[in-house]
């Protein structure tokens, strides 16, 4: 029997619910932890970043307008589909990072659990973060959290899967849409996650994933007028102060880089980071 010819895979971008190649035609090789060729990944350009923001902006109204209960169902479905493809992700993480099968399995399991954790907060966060305010007069007001809009995320660069999930999931809870720049060194799990999102009832454009150089893509996202929030959790190795300055030109909300053993650990603060507080006033009946 003749030996099969290997068919190298090119992992594409995820924009607007579809998987296009970079408009520039550029790719870069992804190697195993031992330096052997593993696959090709698309290297996103400025135009790809603009297309991703446009897709996220187009999906923002319907995603923010969905009921919190429905968003929770969708995020829980992501966990279900990811659980069904657990073995694939374990193999990919092991190949990319050199982690043992047990360590890779632990990362995948934690990523699944994180989707479930954030799914549970979708229809509860407003009750925790909102409140009825004490007002002296014949009226009352209520404050409620609302999504900021389009959030650009620079994912943790050392993590193949968990860091990306930890940055994307909290932004989705309140109705934001996301453009994420995945780890350059370990991008394959990010695109495989995109395949999970595409088959998990997540509307096209709600999450968009770019692969390539964060240093190249991030400045265009930071200065884009349709980006309303910038999560720099994985931008510690690049000039993130310049990104803050660029974001200030359009009054974009910025979350600074994080460090530690569990970057972007699950918390209500990460959900609240990209919300705006709306206060509604109403007169009291005098009858």
Asked, for residue 200, whether it belongs to a domain, the answer is yes
| Half-sphere exposure in the Cβ direction for 179 (13 Å, CA) | 34
Output the pTM of the full model. 0.92
Asked, for residue 133, whether it belongs to a domain, the answer is yes
pLDDT value at residue 281: 77
| Spatial distance between the Cα atoms of 237 and 88, rounded to a whole number of angstroms | 29
Asked, for residue 121, whether it belongs to a domain, the answer is yes
Asked, for residue 1, whether it belongs to a domain, the answer is no
What are the b/e assignments for 59-96, b being 16+ CB within 10 Å?
A: bbeebbebebeebbebbbbbbebbbebeeebbebbbbb
Closest to 162 measured CA to CA, from 269, 240, 91, 266 = 266
| Half-sphere exposure in the Cβ direction for 96 (13 Å, CA) | 25
Q: What is the 3-state secondary structure (H, E, C) of 191-245?
A: HHHHHHHHCCCCCCCCEEEECCCHHHHHHHHHHCCCCCEEECCCCCCCCHHHHHH
**Residue 42: alpha-carbon gap to chain centroid:** 18
Asked, for residue 109, whether it belongs to a domain, the answer is yes
Q: Any residues with CB less than 8 A from the CB of 31 and at least 6 apart, and which?
A: 37, 38
- Total structural domains in the chain? 1
Q: Any residues with CB less than 8 A from the CB of 22 and at least 6 apart, and which?
A: 13, 42, 43, 44, 45, 48, 212
Which tens digit of pLDDT belongs to each residue from 68-83? 999 999 999 999 999 9
For the chain, the average pLDDT equals: 93
Asked, for residue 75, whether it belongs to a domain, the answer is yes
Q: Which domain holds residue 204?
A: 12-283
CATH of the domain at 252: 3.40.605.10
Which tens digit of pLDDT belongs to each residue from 212-253? 999 999 999 999 999 999 999 999 889 999 999 999 999 899
Asked, for residue 171, whether it belongs to a domain, the answer is yes
Asked, for residue 3, whether it belongs to a domain, the answer is no
Q: Where are the alpha helices (DSSP H) in the chain?
A: 46-65, 68-84, 86-97, 101-121, 125-129, 162-173, 188-198, 214-223, 240-248, 268-272
Which tens digit of pLDDT belongs to each residue from 160-197? 999 999 999 999 999 999 999 999 999 999 999 999 99
Helix (H, G, I), strand (E, B) or coil at 271: helix
Helix (H, G, I), strand (E, B) or coil at 85: coil
């Amino acid at each position: 029997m003749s030996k099969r010819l290997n068919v190298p895979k090119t992992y594409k971008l995820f924009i607007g619910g579809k998987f296009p190649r970079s408009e520039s035609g550029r790719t870069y090789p992804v190697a195993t932890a031992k330096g052997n060729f593993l696959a090709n990944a698309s290297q996103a350009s400025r135009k790809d970043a603009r297309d991703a923001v446009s897709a996220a902006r187009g999906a923002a109204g319907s995603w923010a307008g969905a009921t919190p209960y429905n968003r929770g169902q969708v995020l829980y479905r992501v966990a279900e589909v990811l659980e069904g493809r657990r073995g694939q992700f374990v193999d990919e993480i092991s190949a990319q990072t050199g982690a043992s099968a047990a360590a890779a399995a632990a990362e995948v399991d934690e990523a699944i659990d994180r989707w479930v954790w954030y799914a549970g907060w979708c229809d509860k966060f407003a009750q925790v973060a909102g409140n009825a305010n004490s007002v002296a007069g014949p009226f009352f007001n209520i404050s409620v959290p609302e999504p900021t809009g389009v959030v650009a995320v620079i994912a943790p660069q050392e993590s193949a899967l968990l860091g990306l999930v930890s940055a994307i999931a909290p932004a989705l809870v309140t109705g934001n849409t996301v453009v994420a720049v995945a780890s350059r060194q370990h991008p394959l799990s990010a695109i495989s996650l995109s395949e999970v999102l595409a088959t998990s009832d997540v509307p096209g454009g709600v999450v968009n994933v770019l692969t390539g150089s964060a240093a190249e893509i991030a400045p265009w996202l930071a200065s884009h007028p349709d980006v309303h929030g910038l999560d720099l959790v994985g931008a510690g190795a690049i000039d993130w102060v310049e990104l803050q300055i660029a974001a200030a030109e359009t009054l974009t909300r910025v979350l600074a880089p994080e460090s530690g053993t569990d970057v972007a650990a699950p918390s209500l603060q990460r959900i609240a980071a990209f919300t705006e507080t709306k206060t509604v006033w109403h007169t009291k009946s005098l009858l």
